[in-house]
Chain A
Amino acid sequence: MATPISGGSGSVREVELPRVAGVAWPTRAARSETPFAQGVRRLRRSTTALFGVAIVAVLILVAVFADVLAPESPTASDQTQTFAVPSWEHPLGTDQLGRDMLSRVIHGTRISLLVGVSSVLLALFVGVPLGMIAGYHGGRVDTVVMRTMDLILAFPIYLLAIILMVMFTPTAGLIGTMKVTGAIAIVRIPIYARLVRGSVLSIKEKEYIEACRALGLRTPWILFRHVLPNCLAPIIVTTTLGIATSIIVEATLSFLGLGTQPPTPSWGWDLKANVAFIQANAWLSLFPGLAIFVTVLGFNLFGDGLRDALDPRLK
């Protein structure tokens, strides 16, 4: 039986420790840095990770200020200017409808980032609590939750995503984007549930959790205040790398005609639509493809850096 320690934060409070003459409690600054500060320091040392962070930051700015940055509307077609080669007026040329490719690529950032980030967050908000509950309670709850997760995992991911998208019937605009987000999130929920459950299984046997229980703390409080922070590192890493994967899945669905529908600009769709004209107008497929590549690269570099910084064991 572990000795109960008063105080709810899991760490020992200094006031309750006996004072020893001549021994001063170290000041806040002199104490070892928090794991978070340690992670940030390690991350800042890695050039590639910073490069990734820079790419992601620029992309977020491009997505936010797309309306200001794009020289034209991404959907405005000019029939007199179809298949224009790159020029000062249209730096990336125009497509078969005479739409400015640069504006489409810039606006495509929104869909890509929106779907990539929100699908992962959605999967996270569903998967993490499920995994925590399953791992902490065990028994029948665990069996029901994890069998359901196994059911999703038993599917080849693209088969499930494609059928989900056909079920949702792809549309344009925000609703269409939300459908893609939902489909990708469903496919990714089990990843988080499994990851968190695994961590919780080991954490719940730790003495500080036993101490919490001995103190009579409520289960939700223990889970969110004491268990969750201790399995955060792998969650953060998986999330960042997961955004990269989700962006590729979104682009792939769009490429197959099952993503956000036109006229909403989407990189995958633009690439596919322009493959038909690739022989004469190579640049048209090139730019949306490059945009996907740079975005995914940014999140991958960032995620790799985070992994090295937060959890060296995961290397």
Chain B
Amino acid sequence: MRVWMLRRLLQIVPTVLMITFVVFVMMQSIPGDPVVALLGDAYTEEDAIKVREAYGLDQPVLVQYFIWLGKLVRGDWGASILTGRPVLNDVLVRLPVTLELIVLSMAVALAIAIPASIIGALRQNTWADYTATSVAMVGVSIPEFFIGVLLLLLFSFGLGGLLPSSGWVYLPGTCPTMVCGVSFWGNLQHVLMPALALGVGRAALLTRLLRASMLEVVRSEYVTTARAKGLAERPVVLKHAFKNALIPTVTVMGLQVGFLIGGAIVVETLFAMPGLGTFGIDAIIARDYQQVQGFALITAFAFVIINLLVDLTYTFLDPRIRYA
């Protein structure tokens, strides 16, 4: 197991390197460069050359990538071309916002999906099951931003401004500057709608997957055996059936991370949240190469780590699965 962990952790390195390299090459292949955006319309070619030299933009792409990598291993993520701020600082400031959004949205998703799928599977073809499956079907068909718009209409504008439509209030202890709103209650108000917008779609998908695998599992012989030996319904469902039904679901959830990142970008844009999603999309559109690299690095890393966690979850869900 320890060897396996070590090997998996080592595999992270080439994957992350590859993703950041491809992103680097792709970003650099876009015609024009951010220098024009930095200098504004009235600039001389000499100025532009000077700035390009200062940021190493006159070097070949491959050289630039290795310069970036060389700095990275020394803990320097580079500085934004447009603002001059260190990329690592920006990423660290914005990471907690996105983490909070994603963790809460997953919590929302699980809180809805687990009971809905269990009820759906145990009472197959009853009105409760039909309701759960129909709502889930609707849920997987609505894009996150439309759920967000509906929530905005309901809670921000419909119910007399019950929840704020945009912006952010930091959790105590996470405020990056001296001048930001800090309170638990304010934070909750700001994160509630984005977390719901992102979580509802995941909940629908999870419900469908879990219900399908639960249906398969509850018909298996060991569940009949568990019932036959007089076990109460609750441990039968939760310990025997549900745990095994989770295995295929966990796989799909791992594959869904790519969509979750897209969802975070969209939801953060809609609710104007200062998270990594808005950071990434702004950087890509402004072609701030260093910021894009920072974003690609942290996304690739998250992607790989989550997939590693998925593999580790298998061993917990099914002790027969062992990694040597």
Select the stretch in B21-29, B222-230, B309-317 that faces chain A: B21-29
**Which residue from A156, A167, A272 sits with its C-beta under 8 Å from B258?**
A156
Please give me the residue from chain A that is nearest to B212 by CB atom. Answer: A315
A244 close to B141 (CB less than 8 A): yes
B22 touches A158 (CB 8 A): no
Q: Which of A161, A166, A244, A275 meets B270, CB within 8 Å?
A: A275
In the assembly, what is the distance between CA of A151 and CA of B16, in Å?
A: 11
Given contact pairs A167-B29, A255-B269, a sample of 20 additional A-B residue pairs in the complex whose CB atoms are under 8 Å apart:
A155-B22, A155-B258, A156-B300, A158-B261, A158-B262, A158-B265, A161-B262, A166-B27, A251-B143, A252-B144, A255-B145, A256-B269, A258-B285, A268-B145, A278-B153, A286-B149, A289-B149, A292-B146, A293-B138, A296-B143
Which residues of B, 288-324, contact A by the 8 Å Cβ criterion? 296, 299-300, 303
- Tell me if B's interface is mostly helix, strand, loop or mixed: helix
Minimum CB–CB distance from A132 to chain B (whole Å) comes to 23
Closest chain-A Cβ to B200's Cβ sits at a distance in Å of: 13
Contacts of B31 in A (CB 8 A): 169
Q: Whole-angstrom distance between the alpha carbons of A167 and B261 in the complex?
A: 20
Q: Are B15 and A154 in contact (CB under 8 A)?
A: yes
Say yes or no: A163-B284 contact (C-beta < 8 A), given A154-B18, A255-B266, A256-B269.
yes
Smallest Cβ distance from A107 to chain B, in angstroms? 19
Q: Does B114 make an interface contact (CB < 8 A)? A: no
Which of B22, B26, B258, B259 is packed against the most chain A CB atoms within 10 Å? B258
- B285 surroundings in chain A (CB, below 8 A): 166, 257-258
Binding site for B on A (CB under 8 A): 48, 151, 154-159, 161-164, 166-167, 169, 244, 248-249, 251-252, 255-258, 268, 271-272, 275, 278-279, 282, 285-286, 289, 292-293, 296-297, 300-301, 304, 315
- Which residue of the partner chain B has the closest CB to A297? B141
Task: A101 to B257: give the CA distance in the assembly, Å.
Answer: 35
Known: A156-B257, A156-B303, A279-B157. A271 touches B149 (CB 8 A): yes
Asked whether any CB of chain A lies closer than 8 Å to the CB of B91, the reply is no
Contact A151 B299 (CB under 8 A): no
20 contacts between A and B (CB under 8 A): A154-B15, A154-B18, A154-B303, A156-B258, A156-B299, A158-B265, A159-B261, A159-B262, A162-B284, A166-B27, A169-B31, A255-B266, A256-B269, A275-B149, A278-B153, A285-B149, A289-B146, A289-B149, A293-B146, A296-B143
Q: Say yes or no: B149 contacts A278, CB within 8 Å.
A: yes
Cβ–Cβ contact A151 & B29, under 8 A: no
Binding site for A on B (CB under 8 A): 15, 18-19, 22-23, 26-27, 29-31, 137-138, 140-146, 149-150, 152-153, 157, 212, 257-259, 261-262, 265-266, 269-270, 280-281, 284-285, 287, 296, 299-300, 303
8 cross-chain pairs, A with B, having the tightest CB-CB distances, nearest first: A158-B262, A156-B258, A289-B146, A297-B141, A157-B258, A296-B141, A156-B261, A248-B143
Residue of A nearest to B208 (CB): A304
B36 to chain A, nearest CB (A): 15
Tell me how far the C-beta of B106 lies from the nearest C-beta in chain A, rounded to whole angstroms. 16
Contact of A167 with B303 in the complex, beta carbons under 8 Å: no
Task: Collect the chain B residues with CB atoms within 8 Å of residue A251's CB.
Answer: 143, 145
Take A158-B265, A252-B266, A275-B270 as given contacts and tell me if A282 and B146 are in contact as well, using a CB distance cutoff of 8 Å: no
A279 to chain B: closest residue by CB: B157
A169 shortest CB reach to chain B, Å: 8
- Chain B residues with Cβ below 8 Å from A163 are 23, 26-27, 284
B145 and chain A: residue at smallest CB distance: A255
Residue numbers in B under 8 Å from A154 (CB-CB): 15, 18-19, 300, 303
- Contacting pair B287 A166 (CB below 8 A): yes
Residue of B nearest to A289 (CB): B146
Q: Give complex CA distance A300, B19 in Å.
A: 31
Find out whether the CB atom of B19 lies under 8 angstroms from the CB atom of A282: no
Shortest B258–chain A CB gap in Å is: 4
